[in-house]
């Protein structure tokens, strides 16, 4: 397989998992925010599960592709769902829950992709080099990476907002100020991965997460094997 074919295959395998991982991650923030009293995302049409409403051309498509070709976790981002924390019924506490909704969505999707892999592998005996097997593996990897990466406790990542929601108010206000440097934080984290300074943490976290998926799906594996 030449380099062009390899790139095309990578795009084909990763496109659907990346689009839905990023889009449902963002939509989850909006749904939880609406549940707690903020309809901003709903009013702007951002609760749709249609990936086209959430796509950022660079963050959703180009960046994950570049990272995957560099053999790094295929991370990316979508257009952030607007949340007006002031409209939440309990802004400080519920801000953390709104933030946690994104990684929780990725956890659920990763589990779903692994369930698909289990069915294809054990029930249908599909070869491991099959396109849909490769896509299910991509879905597991992408969602695991997004879940772990977004839990890094630095604003504007979800983990940073969770920490902000937990800290006492004076500390929370100071910690939240990091968010104004959000793009620099994101670029810095990508560079740390490139130089191997963060890769061990991400890969280790992904392995732990996927072990949890295996434990949760063990009854299904037992039935089908």
Domain that holds residue 126: 3-152+186-224
Classify residue 202: in a domain, yes or no.
yes
Classify residue 172: in a domain, yes or no.
no
Tokens matching residue 118: 């289990």
Classify residue 81: in a domain, yes or no.
yes
Is residue 102 over pLDDT 80? yes
Classify residue 162: in a domain, yes or no.
no
Per the CB < 8 A criterion, the answer to whether 159 and 150 are in contact is yes
Total count of domains within the chain:
1
Classify residue 170: in a domain, yes or no.
no
pTM above 0.85, yes or no: yes
Among 37-51, 67-81, 202-216, name the one with the lowest average pLDDT. Answer: 67-81
Classify residue 171: in a domain, yes or no.
no
Classify residue 74: in a domain, yes or no.
yes
CA distances for 216 relative to 63, 111, 115, 213, 220, angstroms: 31, 8, 10, 5, 9
Q: In the chain, what percentage of residues exceed pLDDT 70?
A: 97
Classify residue 11: in a domain, yes or no.
yes
Per the CB < 8 A criterion, the answer to whether 141 and 114 are in contact is no
């Amino acid at each position: 397989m030449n380099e062009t074919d390899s790139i095309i295959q990578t795009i084909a395998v990763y496109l659907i998992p990346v689009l839905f991982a990023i889009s449902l991650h963002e939509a989850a923030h909006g749904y939880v925010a609406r549940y707690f009293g903020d309809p901003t995302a709903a009013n702007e049409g951002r609760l749709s599960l249609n990936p086209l409403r959430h796509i950022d051309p660079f963050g959703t498509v180009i960046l994950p592709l570049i990272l995957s070709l560099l053999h790094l976790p295929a991370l990316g981002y979508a257009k952030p769902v607007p949340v007006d924390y002031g409209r939440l019924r309990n802004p400080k506490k519920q801000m953390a829950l709104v933030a946690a909704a994104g990684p929780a969505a990725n956890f659920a999707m990763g589990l779903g992709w692994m369930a698909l892999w289990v069915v294809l592998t054990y029930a249908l005996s599909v070869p491991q080099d099959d396109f849909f097997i490769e896509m299910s593996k991509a879905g597991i990897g992408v969602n695991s990476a997004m879940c772990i990466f977004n839990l890094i406790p630095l604003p504007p990542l979800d983990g940073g907002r969770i920490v902000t929601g937990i800290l006492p108010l004076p500390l929370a206000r100071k910690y939240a100020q990091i968010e104004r440097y959000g793009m620099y934080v994101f670029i810095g984290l990508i560079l740390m991965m490139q130089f191997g300074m963060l890769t061990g943490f991400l890969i280790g976290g992904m392995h732990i997460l996927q072990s949890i998926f295996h434990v949760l799906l063990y009854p299904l594996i037992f039935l089908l094997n």
